[in-house]
Amino acid sequence: MAGAKSYDRGVAYIDAVEDLQLDGSRIFATVCGSEPYEVELAVGRRGLNGVCDCPWGQEGNFCKHCVATGLVYLFRREHDDEIPERLDLRLYLNALSPRELVALLLELAEGDRNVRRRLEALATGEAV
């Protein structure tokens, strides 16, 4: 899937894989390269599909971060290391009061311009 160059680079990133989690047939992790990148691998009938928010991954390539995540997952599975299930945030959010949700969204909007812009667009009826 990755090609020799990305595979070799991915092997070098094995120790950079953090927060490996499972959600059904999907595998999530953060890989710390020049910055932290979010990786999602999906195992389906057609094999393995990988998505990463690094520049190479955003071009649709199976990048070194996807390789590293896959290798760490396989190693941990083969050695019976527990891989935590991804928390279902919907359950948590449904339990919050409207006031708590508003406070959380405002906090996120203050810390992330993209979140603020999206909320502003929704508030004014602009396309998101």
Residue 83 located in a structural domain: no
Do 58 and 8 share a structural domain? yes
Distance linking the first and last C-alpha atoms of the chain: 33
Q: What is the model's pLDDT at position 88?
A: 86
**In this structure, which amino acid lies at residue 14?**
I
The backbone torsions φ and ψ at residue 16, rounded to the nearest 5 degrees and listed phi first, read: -95, 0
Do 109 and 67 share a structural domain? no
Tell whether the model's pLDDT for residue 39 goes beyond 90.
yes
Find how far residue 74's CA is from the centre of its chain.
Answer: 17
Do 106 and 47 share a structural domain? no
Coil, helix or strand for 83? Answer: coil
Do 59 and 8 share a structural domain? yes
Lookup: tokens for 68: 């590293």
State which H helix or E strand residue 100 sits in. Answer: helix 98-111
Do 17 and 37 share a structural domain? yes
Count of domains forming the chain? 2
**In this structure, which amino acid lies at residue 113?**
R
Give dist(CA 85, CA 83) in Å, integer: 7
pLDDT digits (tens, 9 = 90+) for 73-88: 999 999 999 999 988 8
Coil, helix or strand for 119? Answer: helix
Full domain range(s) for residue 55: 4-78
State which H helix or E strand residue 26 sits in. Answer: strand 26-32
Tell whether the model's pLDDT for residue 19 goes beyond 70.
yes
Give dist(CA 54, CA 63) in Å, integer: 8
pTM: predicted TM-score of the whole model, two decimal places: 0.75
Residue 12 located in a structural domain: yes
Q: Residues with Cβ < 8 Å from 16, sequence gap 6 or more?
A: 31, 32, 33, 68
